[in-house]
Copies of this chain bind each other. A is one copy, B any other.
Amino acid sequence: MFAGHADYARLEERARRALEPAVFDFYAGGSGDETTLAASAEAWRRVSLRPHVLRDVSSVDTRVRLLGREVPAPVCVAPMGYQTLAHPEGELAMARGARRAGALFTMSSRSSRRIEEVAAEAGPWWFQAYVMRDRGLTRDLVRRAADAGAAALVLTGDTPYLGRRRRDRDPGLIPDDMFGVNLGPGFDRASAEQAADVTYDDIAWLREISGLPLVVKGVLRGDDARACAAAGAAGVWVSNHGGRQLDGAVTTAEALPEVAGAVRDDAVEVYADGGIRTGVDVLRALALGARAVFVGRPALWCLATGGEDAVADGLAELCGGLAHAMGLAGVTSVTRIDRGLCAFENTRHNVET
């Protein structure tokens, strides 16, 4: 299913037909002119690979340790809200499919199924936290996630408020009962919106109340990555939120080498997401410095078109595509993928002060 971007396009098209137009657009769309959205997928393709010949690749090992826990492959599921819009079982089916494929699952703060219910079906999973205007709501969610077995917290740092998404035309798309499924009864919707005053100090707070290692999602700069490390983060996740926040933001393929370089000497893991569609894309991201990648929409389109089974198959295929690409590139272990494996046409230069 993911041997090329053409396969992805076909899958997306099938999802488009399977979903309500408003739902498809909510899922597929980005902010502003969708410049960042389009550029992000395209940017990986500008990364050429420099394969080795004559290596014994009869066995290829894609296993990797993420925050100390081994997973079979560095391909994980990104947090995405409201998955019951795509499939009646929503996050349940996604978590089950991920577990079957051996892929780490990230549960969104905006899950449309109850945390505990999803956790019961999931393999290893992380919980994505939004700091809400009422920090008490976040504290409760985070503690419930920790109790339910989340292995780490993911603090999304790029969403003080939502990006301006042209395709989001139906303000009633997310009814109150879906929005509030993990909030107490009689919750106040405004209090549960993202807080705009989240800072590096919240890293310590979240670690303390959850007892979990914390990953900051949305990092696009080296200096921010270092600031995360200094504030106690265990990981930084290079993301532009799938092109849904600041339109015009740099692509993750362009930001990744800078971020990875900045924290090379820190005990911080680096992940990346955004526009990753094939096993070759995964290899590109690993070569540019990511320890693992997360996929959003590819998993969502699987969910929409075939539920748990399609999720399991799609993720397995991505993992298989990675192993195959590694073999053709002459590398037998993800730990041995180095930057020299790629040649990158990055035509943008940071403007010096």
Q: Are B224 and A52 in contact (CB under 8 A)?
A: yes
Least distance between A286 CB and chain B CB atoms (Å): 12
A269 CB within 8 Å of chain B: no
Least distance between A159 CB and chain B CB atoms (Å): 8
Hey, what's the 0/1 contact readout for A251-268 against B, CB within 8 Å counting as 1?
A: 100110100000000000
Least distance between A226 CB and chain B CB atoms (Å): 12
Give the residues in chain B near A58, CB-CB below 8 Å. 160, 195-197
Hey, what's the 0/1 contact readout for A313-353 against B, CB within 8 Å counting as 1?
A: 00000000100110111000000001110111111111111
Give the residues in chain B near A161, CB-CB below 8 Å. 324, 327-328
Q: Are B158 and A248 in contact (CB under 8 A)?
A: no
Least distance between A241 CB and chain B CB atoms (Å): 10
A166-B6, A339-B351, A344-B348 known; A51 and B280 CB under 8 Å? no
Hey, what's the 0/1 contact readout for A11-52 against B, CB within 8 Å counting as 1?
A: 000000000000000000001111100000000011111111
CA distance A147 to B287 in the complex (A): 45
Q: Are B349 and A48 in contact (CB under 8 A)?
A: no
CA distance A199 to B324 in the complex (A): 18
Stretch of A182-190, A213-221, A294-302 contacting B (4+ beta carbons < 8 Å): A213-221
Q: Which residue of B lies closest to A264 (CB)?
A: B353
Which of A34, A157, A255, A328 has the most CB atoms of chain B within a 10 A radius of its CB? A328
A107 CB within 8 Å of chain B: no
CA distance A45 to B250 in the complex (A): 11
* Chain A interface category by residue count: 35 or more
Cβ < 8 Å to B, chain A residues 170-215: 195-200, 202-203
CA distance A47 to B3 in the complex (A): 30
Cβ < 8 Å to B, chain A residues 143-165: 155, 157-158, 160-161, 163-164
Least distance between A322 CB and chain B CB atoms (Å): 12
Q: Are B280 and A54 in contact (CB under 8 A)?
A: no
Instruction: Using A51-B221, A52-B224, A54-B155 as known contacts, list a sample of 6 further A-B pairs with CB atoms less than 8 Å apart, ordered by residue number in A.
Output: A48-B249, A52-B221, A54-B157, A56-B196, A287-B351, A340-B351
